[in-house]
Amino acid sequence: MHEKRKLGWIGYCAFLCLFVALPAGCRKKESAPASAQILRISQRNEPADLDPARVTLPDEFFIIRALSEGLVRPAPGGGQEPAIAERWEISPEGFVYTFHLRPAARWSNDEPVTAFDFVESYRRELTPATAAPKAGLFFLVKNARAFATGAITDFAEVGFHAADAQTLVVVLEQPSPLFLAYAASGPWIPVNPRVVAAHGRDWTRPENFVGNGPFTLAEWRPHQRIVVRKNPGYFEAARVRLDEIDFVALDNEPAAANRSVIKAVWTRGRSFIGAPNCGSDGCSSRTCRNSSTGARSICAPEGRSSAVAANISAPGQRPCKAPGSSSTGACSMQPILATRRHASVFF
């Protein structure tokens, strides 16, 4: 039961495998082109941080996963699939995992993503002074618990080793069929150690943030919105159909105001996920497309959905009213990734 509780939050957006920053840390808003593909998501909690070593909430990891990736990520159909690691081998006894990183994987400042970056990220996560709240998700690794609790102080004794720039070796305390699921969890997402060293706790501000994922951090207005934009340097950039994702804070807004925002989003031809009470407008828990504007909306009761899935393998249509409108339009599932059969969002 303990393992189930620890793993309950591990899932995430397979696309998008898919703080509290001060206003001075936010970039000036740059308007996206009218033709831009923009997804808007209702964000129920203001992130305390965007540092994988310091956050705890699914909402926080959801944003982080748009900005960075780990060795592996949860696959849409279950299990795990390659992310920054393009392949891996497991020793016959199940103790040793050897991950081979993609040569094309780069940080958003154009530095290569290396195995040394992963080792340094995990050293930082497990260092007692960091007090990482999710450090326990590393305890399957040899001596990770001992290092995190201060029982040993030499990180060389922990089961992480960079054989070279593109090869990471992980040694476990004992074989576990759950290891790859843990490795796909949010805290295993690396950070750029040089950026962290240069900026300290301020490295997550938009002007400083460097990730390795499909999007980059463009704007962070506390308690209002977080904007991420497509990263052209991402190794799978050609498969990313979205130009921007807006994480919009709506929890403290009256329901009527929320519906007004939904209507505005619809009429501008932009997408929105997690709209409170949207189901009463005829689009409950479905992806809808307005035939006249091209807008798409995914509605979830009370804006509190714990799962959103878009099946793009066989698009279909159904009648649907635009929020707050008496007219109907054609609703259809639309692809976010160019080749992935379906995308899922789950916590």
Query: Looking at the domain assignment, is residue 153 inside a domain?
Result: yes
For residues 342 and 258, state if they share a domain.
yes
User: In this structure, are 254 and 315 located in the same domain?
Assistant: yes
Say which DSSP state 146 is in. Answer: H
Q: Is residue 145 part of a domain?
A: yes
pLDDT value of position 122: 98
Is 142:172 a contact under the CB 8 Å cutoff? yes
The residue among 204, 239, 262 that closes a domain is: 204
For residue 166, give the CATH number of its domain.
3.90.76.10
Phi and psi for 303 in degrees, rounded to 5?
65, 20
Please give the chain's pLDDT, 347 residues, in tens.
444 434 333 333 333 333 222 233 334 445 556 678 999 999 888 999 999 999 999 999 999 999 999 999 999 889 999 999 999 999 999 999 999 999 999 999 999 999 999 999 999 999 999 999 999 999 999 999 999 999 999 999 999 999 999 999 999 999 999 999 999 999 999 999 999 999 999 999 999 999 999 999 999 999 999 999 999 999 999 999 999 999 998 754 444 344 334 333 332 333 444 433 344 344 444 445 555 545 454 444 333 434 343 433 444 444 444 444 444 443 333 333 332 222 333 22
Reduce the DSSP state of residue 37 to 3 states and report it.
coil
Query: What are the residue ranges of helices labelled H in 212-254?
Result: none
Same structural domain, 20 and 141? yes
d(CA 274, CA 43): 8
The H-or-E segment that residue 318 falls in is strand 317-321
Same domain, 151 and 285: no
In a domain, 326, yes or no: yes
Q: Report the domain count for the chain.
A: 2
Specify whether 196 is located in the same domain as 329.
no
Cα(292)–Cα(308) distance, integer angstroms = 25
Q: Which of the listed residues 204, 236, 265 is the one where a domain comes to its end?
A: 204
In a domain, 325, yes or no: yes
Phi and psi angles of residue 102, each rounded to the nearest 5 degrees, phi first: -70, 130
Residue ranges of E strands in 205-295: 215-221, 225-230, 244-249, 271-275, 287-289
Question: Could you tell me which residues come within 8 angstroms of residue 339 by beta carbon, excluding any fewer than 6 positions away?
Answer: 239
74 alpha-carbon distance from chain centroid: 11
Cβ count near 197 (within 10 Å): 11
Q: Distance between CA 218 and CA 155 in Å, rounded?
A: 35
Give the pLDDT score at 43: 84
- Give the pLDDT score at 7: 39
| Claim to verify: residue 39 and residue 118 sit in the same structural domain | yes
Say if residue 167 is in the same domain as residue 259.
Answer: no
Query: For position 63, what pLDDT does the model report?
Result: 97
- Is the domain of 180 the same as that of 282? no
> Which of 143, 173, 204 is at the close of a domain?
204
Q: Are residues 194 and 278 in the same domain?
A: no
Phi-psi region of 24 (alpha: psi -120 to 50; beta: other; left: phi over 0): alpha
Q: Does 234 reside within a domain? A: no
pLDDT at 2: 42
Question: Residue 213: inside a domain, yes or no?
Answer: no
Give the CA count within 13 Å in the CB-facing half-sphere of 102: 18
Residues 60 and 192 grouped into a single domain: yes
The reported pLDDT for the residue numbered 97 is 98
Cα separation, 184 vs 224, whole angstroms? 29
Asked if 120 and 256 sit in the same domain, the reply is no
Query: Same domain, yes or no, for 179 and 51?
Result: yes
CA within 13 Å, CB half, 121: 26
- Give the domain range for residue 164: 8-204
- The answer as to whether 151 is a domain residue is yes
Q: Count other Cβ atoms within 10 Å, centred on residue 193.
A: 18
Could you tell me if residue 178 is inside a domain?
yes
